[in-house]
Amino acid sequence: MNKTKISLSLAVISGLFLAGCGQSADSSDAAKSSEQTKMEKVMYPITKKGDVVDEYFGTQVPDPYRWLEDDMSAETADWVKAQNVTTQSYLSNIPYREKIEKRLSALLDYEKVGTPFIEGDYSYFYKNDGLQNQYVLYRQKGESEAEVFLDPNTFSEDGTVSLASLEFTQDGSLAVYMISEGGSDWRKARIINTETKEMVEKELVDIKFSGLSWVGNEGFYYSSYDKPKGSELSAKTDQHKLYYHKLGTSQADDTLVFGGTDAEKHRYVGGNVTDDGKYLLVSAAVSTSGNRLFIKDLTKSDSKLIPVVTNTDSDNYLLTSEGDDLLLVTNMDAPNKRVVKVNALSPEPKNWVDVIPETENVLSVSTGGGYLFAKYMRHATSFVQQYQLTGELVRNIELPEVGTAGGFSGKKTQAKIYYSFSNQKTPSTTFSLDVKSGSSDVYMKSKVKFNSDDFESKQVFYASKDGTKVPMIITHKKGLKLDGTNPTILYGYGGFNISLQPQFSSTRAAWLELGGVYAVANLRGGGEYGKKWHDAGTKLQKQNVFDDFIAAAEYLISEKITSSDKLAVMGGSNGGLLVGAVMTQRPELFKVALPAVGVLDMLRYHTFTSGAGWAYDYGTSEDNKEMFEYLLGYSPVHNVKAGVQYPATLVTTGDHDDRVVPAHSFKFAAELQAKQAGSNPTLIRIETDAGHGAGTPISKTIEQYADIYGFTLYNMGVKDI
């Protein structure tokens, strides 16, 4: 099955790098500038304390900042404004902050072109001329001149309305695309005739966490929740439903396919139709790991949904199909995943036959040109093999060097497909692959002005607290002096089976150009070594993730790559939790902490929006006394202690983040400001009309990174750049 999934990630959009800057190597100089002395005396807005106390299994837990959870109150809005005034006052007085912003703007101003994909008679591709807030979607027929197909920059004046996803019919004549407003996960869907580019009917509204899957040219499946009462940005959304929309009918008349009863209640539901339109496969999950699977014969109007996988102990999804034969990807009895074949008329697991068996390496797989492309991870780096649909190995795909390859997808009829390759120091290059001969040709090189030959990237393995060997990739300029004075960013995530593979990012290149070090640790909780590695960082083993990250910091210091005075820790979302946990457990280990859109209140995270779906990784405070006490033991909001000097901290979030609601960050910042000892600033930067990250306009990205870089360098003792 080859459905085009378009995701304009923040990592792709923010192609930033900073060049030609130097820094002071001495952060302990007593003769600080008058500006720095002045800025250290931050006067924080007064944050009132309430008297809310919750009781968990006989233990009373105060929640003095509960009122900040009300994102609809004028009082919370006033607090946000006051905090932003304080933060921007501090950041604007950093003497080189404006210089960083101008430099970022100049360096971002180059043409960026995405990997092409085929729909109907056209080749489509995304392009940004330089400083456009959103990428523009172009199309081209044969050798004719490319034309604009969709320009998200016209969706709003400030660039805060973005293109979230796009799905074409098999013949390419119709498309449905979704937009996100202000970064929200709630979407609107617009259906267009691709020749005229005109909408064919009124847009659909109130769609969330949804794929799009067409049935011929007649209609499509999508998913959503009932719109919550109260705040749509923070109210709990717990019962996902799959709908079918028939073109030419009102959304109010859409057919509810799955999820409408208590027996069918799941938090994440999705539907995928086979390319020939014959079968619908429905996935239903209660958390972010594990799903039930059902199948429905669409050629029979009275057919029922037939269970295929009846429990949520494994992950299972449709890859492609040939008539009644289905190819599925699963980790059932295969923690590193395998591809299986089964007949749709008897699809139970007992009838599954391996097409690509499980190996010692973690598998992800795609289809293109009538072949399977198995993308394996070996210690978090890519190894790719091409297979026949029947499972015979065709060849190994030779990659330029050690790094990460992505793509390898396309229509069954395509003679050429495309893939990208990059690593921490090598900008992304797009290649075309002839699926018959296996030969690859460079299709397009990145135009970013960065000389990778000046840098080196190496993978090391260090011992965590319990002796587990953890990989980390460290990148820096060649000839780096190991004297402990190098500004270093240590980045991590460690959750939800997500793998951090080496990829080029111009935000990382900023540190490299500065002479800094960028280190990425592949912590437990991620997916780098399959389900076992993931599970080793979940629930009552979550501390393993924090121990892995702390051990990474200690390794960098012991090897004299950096020191505590020159070390910043960074992470977003679950990575924001990671930063919040390690900075409260080992505050003396880091100079700067940068928790972004973090999950920081571990006792209440499951009460907001879709948070309850994260329980596979975290457990909840309602599960039992042991789980409550474990969560309380590391929850960042609950472990800020008075009289402790915490690292200089810049908390970042968005006021429209309806995935990890900003109340997490609000409460954490309030606790830090009330209890921080010493002069390290504890600030919160709250972006307006912004969400969890995806779709952020480039103008806001430039401002955000200018603030982050300025804050980090300044608090590492950098006096000028």
pLDDT tens digits, residue range 113-134?
889 999 999 999 999 988 888 8
Q: Which of 240, 245, 656, 692 is catalytic?
A: 692
- pLDDT (mean) for 377-387: 94
- pLDDT (mean) for 45-51: 96
What end-to-end distance do the CA atoms of the chain give, in Å? Answer: 51
Is the pLDDT at 253 greater than 80, yes or no?
yes
Q: Which residue type is seen at 331?
A: N
Cβ distance 425 to 455 under 8 Å? yes
Give residue 687's pLDDT: 86
Residue with tokens 């960028």: 518
Is the pLDDT at 237 greater than 80, yes or no?
no
Residue 719, Cβ neighbours under 10 Å: how many?
17
For 604, the token pair is: 């209440």
The per-residue pLDDT for range 288-297, each reduced to its tens digit, is 889 999 999 9
Q: How do 440-445 and 469-477 pair as beta strands?
A: unpaired
Cβ distance 345 to 303 under 8 Å? no
Measured CA to CA, the distance from residue 508 to residue 503 in angstroms comes to 10
Measured CA to CA, the distance from residue 180 to residue 183 in angstroms comes to 6
Is the pLDDT at 226 greater than 90, yes or no?
no
The per-residue pLDDT for range 693-707, each reduced to its tens digit, is 555 777 888 899 889
Q: Which of 168-172, 221-225, 227-231 has the lowest mean pLDDT?
A: 227-231
Cβ distance 325 to 570 under 8 Å? no
Instruction: Mark whether 692 is an active-site residue.
Output: yes
Measured CA to CA, the distance from residue 44 to residue 87 in angstroms comes to 9
Cβ distance 658 to 234 under 8 Å? yes
Please state the φ and ψ torsions of residue 704, each to the nearest 5 degrees: -65, -45
How would you write 503-551 as a 3-class SS string? CCCHHHHHHHHCCCEEEEECCCCCCCCCHHHHHCCCHHHCHHHHHHHHH
For 83, what's the count of Cα atoms within 13 Å in the CB-facing half-sphere? 28
Band (pLDDT 50/70/90 cuts) for residue 235 is: low
Band (pLDDT 50/70/90 cuts) for residue 9 is: very low
Share of the chain above pLDDT 70, in %: 92
pTM as predicted: 0.84
Name the nearest CA neighbour of 608 among 228, 181, 184. Answer: 228
Give residue 692's pLDDT: 52
Name the nearest CA neighbour of 69 among 620, 651, 608. Answer: 608
Q: Which of 474-478, 634-638, 656-660 has the lowest mean pLDDT?
A: 656-660
Q: Which of 321, 505, 573, 635 is catalytic?
A: 573
Is the pLDDT at 615 greater than 90, yes or no?
yes
User: What is the chain's mean pLDDT, rounded?
Assistant: 89
The per-residue pLDDT for range 439-485, each reduced to its tens digit, is 999 999 988 888 899 999 999 999 999 999 999 999 999 999 999 99
Band (pLDDT 50/70/90 cuts) for residue 6 is: very low
Share of the chain above pLDDT 90, in %: 73
